[in-house]
């Protein structure tokens, strides 16, 4: 699997993938097809239509009413891609995507955009000559018909979008608990950066400590960290996570008489509702494991603090 990180909105990721496929299509060649043309021309080509010739050109011997086939790129597949490119040019805000879109629009300059999306999709042909169009047309369906890529059974090939769940869980929980803590009179700082793990002899600090959430109000502070892990019992808690919370307690909460830290895990069917707290020091340094119920969007952290 070819994996890559994209620091951009999800729509721009889709647009970048579509533009990549269109670039590959242009590299392999834009297909043309024969289209039947009919009209009064100054040249004789194809078949002369005698009835129309007599009706229109009885007095015009320099004209020929003819019917012929023209080999042009104006076909449903190309019109759909042109329509998708025109839409992207209007909605994209990423500079690189806009630049690539303009380049591809130049390659499709002689082709009009589709005016009937459903009809053109129905008219698309499936043969080996346009097999390289299939990925681009799949993206056209997403961009022009508002469809979404989802996991599905069968032989269909589609893009897989992978999300770093530990990051999403951290950001979601931080935002939700920050809102609840504010209502309870606490100030929440996300990713605090004021403390370091060690100091050298010259006073310089190294190894920054960044708890996901630092709650504070006059006379009290506590720290919390999120972990995207399944906890079935006390034994599933990693020792490295405990070391991390101990460091937060000693550095960020050193002025507190009772140091309170929290580890937040997602609530699952196997997760116990509550676990007995850990004590780094029985007399005043406590760590609690708190589940976050994503189904009901509930967490007992705000009540605990």
Two structure tokens written together for 20: 């990549």
Give the closest residue to 146 by CA, choosing from 56, 14, 291: 14
Q: Tell me which of 128 and 103 has the higher pLDDT.
A: 103
Q: Tell me which of 163 and 20 has the higher pLDDT.
A: 20
Distance CA 89, CA 86 (A): 5
Is residue 245 pLDDT above 60, yes or no?
Answer: yes
For residue 3, CA distances in Å to 33, 54, 163, 167 come to 37, 66, 11, 17
Note whether 39 and 65 are within 8 A (CB). yes
* pLDDT value, residue 255: 84
pLDDT-derived band of residue 201, with 50, 70 and 90 as boundaries?
confident
pLDDT-derived band of residue 3, with 50, 70 and 90 as boundaries?
low
* pLDDT value, residue 149: 60
Two structure tokens written together for 211: 């708890």
Distance CA 230, CA 243 (A): 19
Note whether 71 and 33 are within 8 A (CB). yes
* pLDDT value, residue 151: 59
Distance CA 53, CA 2 (A): 61
Nearest 5°: the CA angle 161, 101, 118 is 70
DSSP result, 75-104: SHHHHHHHHHHHHHHHH---HHHHHHHHHH
* pLDDT value, residue 102: 95
Q: Looking at residues 185-202, what average pLDDT do you find?
A: 87
Q: Looking at residues 194-210, what average pLDDT do you find?
A: 86
Give the closest residue to 13 by CA, choosing from 88, 102, 106: 88
Eight-state DSSP code of residue 48: E
For residue 178, CA distances in Å to 142, 171, 214 come to 35, 10, 10
Q: Looking at residues 38-50, what average pLDDT do you find?
A: 86
* pLDDT value, residue 144: 87
Give the closest residue to 30 by CA, choosing from 79, 64, 69: 79
Domains identified in the chain and CATH numbers: 10-32+73-145 (no CATH), 166-304 (3.40.1350)
Residues 6+ apart with CB under 8 A from 11: 91
Q: How many residues are listed for the chain in this entry?
A: 305
pLDDT digits (tens, 9 = 90+) for 96-110: 999 999 999 999 988
Helix and strand counts by DSSP (H, E) for the chain: 9, 12
pLDDT digits (tens, 9 = 90+) for 132-156: 998 899 889 888 887 666 556 666 5
Two structure tokens written together for 248: 């937060």
Is residue 219 pLDDT above 70, yes or no?
Answer: yes
pLDDT-derived band of residue 33, with 50, 70 and 90 as boundaries?
confident
* pLDDT value, residue 100: 95
């Amino acid at each position: 699997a070819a994996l890559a990180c994209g620091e951009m909105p999800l729509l721009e990721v889709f647009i970048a993938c579509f533009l990549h496929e269109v670039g590959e299509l242009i590299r392999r060649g834009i297909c043309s097809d024969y289209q039947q043309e009919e009209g009064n021309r100054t040249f004789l080509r194809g078949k002369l239509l005698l009835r129309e010739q007599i009706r229109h050109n009885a007095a015009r011997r320099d004209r020929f009413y003819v019917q012929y086939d023209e080999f042009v790129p104006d076909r449903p597949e190309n019109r759909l891609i042109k329509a998708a490119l025109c839409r992207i040019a209007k909605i994209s805000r990423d500079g690189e995507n806009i630049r690539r879109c303009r380049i591809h629009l130049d390659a499709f300059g002689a082709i009009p955009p589709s005016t009937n999306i459903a009809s053109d999709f129905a008219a698309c042909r499936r043969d080996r000559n346009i097999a390289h169009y299939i990925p681009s047309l799949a993206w056209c369906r997403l961009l022009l018909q508002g469809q979404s890529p989802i996991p599905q059974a069968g032989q269909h090939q589609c893009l897989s979008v992978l999300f770093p769940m530990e990051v999403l869980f951290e950001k979601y929980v931080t935002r939700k608990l920050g809102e609840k803590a504010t209502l309870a009179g606490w100030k929440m700082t996300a990713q605090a950066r004021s403390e370091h793990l060690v100091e050298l002899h010259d006073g310089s600090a190294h190894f920054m400590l960044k708890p996901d959430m630092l709650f504070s109000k006059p006379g009290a502070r506590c720290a919390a960290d999120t972990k995207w892990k399944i906890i079935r019992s006390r034994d599933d808690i990693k020792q490295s996570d405990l070391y991390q919370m101990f460091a937060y307690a000693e550095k960020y909460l050193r002025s507190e008489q009772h140091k309170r830290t929290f580890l937040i895990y997602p609530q699952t069917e196997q997760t116990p509702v509550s676990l007995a707290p850990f004590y780094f020091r029985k007399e005043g340094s406590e760590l609690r494991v708190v589940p976050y119920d994503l189904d009901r969007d509930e967490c007992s952290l705000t009540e605990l603090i």
